[in-house]
Structure 1
Amino acid sequence: MMRRSPLVIIFFTVFIDLVGFGILLPLLPYYAESLGASSLQVGLLSTSYSLMQFLFTPVWGRLSDRYGRRPLILLSLAGSCLGFLVFGLAHDLLLLFAARMVAGVAGAIIPTTYAYIADVTGPEDRARRMGLVGAAFGLGFTLGPAIGGVLSPYGYGKPALLASAMAGANLVFAYFKLPESLSEETRRQARKRHLSFRTFTEAFMNPRLGILLVLLFVVTFAFSNMEATFGLLNAHLYGLSARQTGYLFTYIGILLGLVQGLLVGRLVKRIGESLCMTLGTLSMVFGLSLMPFAPDIPSYCAIIALIAFGTGINNPSISSLLSRHSGVDEQGGIMGIAQSMGSLGRILGPIWGGYTFGAVGIRSPFITAGCIMALAFLLTLENLRRG
Structure 2
Amino acid sequence: MRARPAALIFILLTALIDIVGIGLIIPVLPGLVKELAGSEVAGARTIGLLTAAYAVMQFIFAPILGVLSDRFGRRPVLLFALSGMALDYLLLAFAPNLAWLFVGRILAGITGASLTVANAYIADVSPPEDRAKNFGLLGATFGVGFILGPALGGLLGEYGLRVPFMVAAALTGLNVLYGLFVLPESLPESSRARGLRRADLNPLLPLRALGEYPILRSLTLTFVLLGLAGQVIFSTWVLYTEGVLRWTPGQNGVALAFFGLLTAAVQGGLIGPFIARFGERRTIMTGLVSSILEFTVLSVARSGALLYASLVVGALGGLANPALQGLISRQVSETEQGRVQGAITSLNSLVAVVGPVVATSVYAFGVTHDFPGAAFTLGALLSVAGTLLILGVLRGMPDTGKPQQG
Offset from partner CA, 1:34-73 (integer Å, 9 cap, x none): 4455424344334332332223222223333333333322
Specify the SS of the correspondent of 1:188. Answer: coil
Q: Which residue of 1 aligns with 2:255?
A: 248
Quick one: structure 1 residues 147 and 57, their matched pair in 2 at CA, closer, same or farther if it must change by over 3 Å?
same
Query: Which structure 2 residue ranges, 5 or more long, are not aligned?
Result: 401-406
Determine which of 100, 117, 120 is the counterpart of 1:95: 100
1:346 matched to 2:357:
no
1:314 matched to 2:315:
no
Quick one: structure 1 residues 209 and 105, their matched pair in 2 at CA, closer, same or farther if it must change by over 3 Å?
farther
Letter in 2 for 1:111: T
Whether contact under 8 Å (1:228, 1:353) holds in the other structure is yes
Letter in 1 for 2:256: F
Specify the SS of the correspondent of 2:185. Answer: coil
Offset from partner CA, 1:308-329 (integer Å, 9 cap, x none): 244377369849987x96869x
Any residues of structure 2 matched to 1:181-330 within 5 Å, and which? 181=187, 184-185=190-191, 187-188=193-194, 194-196=200-202, 199-207=205-213, 210=216, 219-230=226-237, 242=247, 246-261=253-268, 281-291=284-294, 292-293=296-297, 304-311=311-318, 314=321, 318=325
Q: Whose Rg is larger? A: 2
Specify the SS of the correspondent of 1:187. Answer: coil
Q: Which residue of 2 aligns with 1:3?
A: 4
Q: Which residue of 2 aligns with 1:27?
A: 28
Q: Report the CA distance between 1:97 and its aligned residue.
A: 1.9
Query: Which structure 1 residue ranges, 5 or more long, are not aligned?
Result: none
Q: Which residue of 1 aligns with 2:404?
A: none
Quick one: structure 1 residues 346 and 134, their matched pair in 2 at CA, closer, same or farther if it must change by over 3 Å?
farther
Quick one: structure 1 residues 197 and 101, their matched pair in 2 at CA, closer, same or farther if it must change by over 3 Å?
closer
Letter in 1 for 2:169: S
Question: Following the alignment from structure 2 to structure 1, what is the Cα–Cα distance between the partners of residues 377 and 220?
Answer: 25
Structure 1, 5-14 or 214-223: larger mean CA deviation: 214-223
Structure 1, 241-250 or 164-173: larger mean CA deviation: 241-250
Question: Following the alignment from structure 1 to structure 2, what is the Cα–Cα distance between the partners of residues 199 and 140?
Answer: 32
Structure 1, 56-65 or 76-85: larger mean CA deviation: 56-65
Quick one: structure 1 residues 195 and 28, their matched pair in 2 at CA, closer, same or farther if it must change by over 3 Å?
closer
Letter in 2 for 1:364: T
Question: Following the alignment from structure 1 to structure 2, what is the Cα–Cα distance between the partners of residues 191 and 209?
Answer: 29
1:104 matched to 2:131:
no
Q: Which residue of 1 aligns with 2:88?
A: 83
Whether contact under 8 Å (1:134, 1:316) holds in the other structure is no
Q: Report the CA distance between 1:22 and its aligned residue.
A: 2.6
Question: Following the alignment from structure 2 to structure 1, what is the Cα–Cα distance between the partners of residues 379 and 144?
Answer: 25
Cα RMSD, aligned residues only: 4.5
Question: Following the alignment from structure 1 to structure 2, what is the Cα–Cα distance between the partners of residues 96 and 82?
Answer: 12
Question: Following the alignment from structure 1 to structure 2, what is the Cα–Cα distance between the partners of residues 103 and 283?
Answer: 36
Quick one: structure 1 residues 219 and 59, their matched pair in 2 at CA, closer, same or farther if it must change by over 3 Å?
farther
Letter in 2 for 1:166: L
Offset from partner CA, 1:289-340 (integer Å, 9 cap, x none): 2222599988875663353244377369849987x96869x96x98776544
Q: Report the CA distance between 1:76 and its aligned residue.
A: 0.9
1:368 matched to 2:381:
yes
Quick one: structure 1 residues 46 and 353, their matched pair in 2 at CA, closer, same or farther if it must change by over 3 Å?
closer
Identity of aligned residues (%): 30
The total of aligned residue pairs comes to 377
Structure 1, 160-169 or 288-297: larger mean CA deviation: 288-297
